[in-house]
Amino acid sequence: MEIGTEEYRRLEVHARRIAVQQSEAIGLAAIRLDCGCIHYCGVSFTGDPVGPLTRLSVDNAPAAICLKCRRPDDRLSHRIEDRLMIWPGRPEEWPEPELRKLIAHKVFGDNYRETAG
């Protein structure tokens, strides 16, 4: 299942927040897992994570963490159904397309989407 428009809107808010709070953060990487949970993390110019991997809260119920995601030994990479790069701000504020491609490739490999707002 893909990350939807409403979820993208909420992730974009986090992308803007991280870009303001962490000077090295240039974008946000988000994954949707087979359980329906969405996790996100800030990403630097070099495609390295900035800050912790955070779960997008669902319906204002932050305590309801699903059992699958609670298992610490569960390997996320096998459960990813969608990979999305989010660049905060207006498109003219985003990094150049070549740099965006380099960053996203380091984070996700070739298999990812990029939402243009």
Give the residues lining the site for Zn ion (CB under 5 A): 35, 37, 66, 68-69
**Residue with smaller CB distance to Zn ion, 71 or 90:** 71
Return phi, psi of residue 81, to 5°.
Answer: -110, -20
Closest separation in Å from C-beta 35 to Zn ion: 3
Q: Give 15 or 31: the residue with its C-beta nearer to Zn ion.
A: 31
Q: Output phi, psi for 20, to 5 deg.
A: -80, -40
Q: Pick between residue 4 and residue 89 the one whose CB is nearest to Zn ion.
A: 4
Q: How far is the CB of 37 from Zn ion (least distance, A)?
A: 3
**Residue pointed to by tokens 């990979």:** 83
Residue nearest Zn ion, Cβ-based: 37
Q: How far apart are CA 105 and CA 47, in angstroms?
A: 8
CB of 71 vs Zn ion, minimal distance in Å: 9
Q: With respect to Zn ion, which residue has the nearer C-beta, 14 or 104?
A: 14
We find the least distance from the C-beta atom of residue 70 to Zn ion, in angstroms, to be 8
Short-list 31, 19, 6, 14, CA closest to 82: 31
**Assigned token pair, 58:** 């669902």
Residue 84 structure tokens: 């999305």
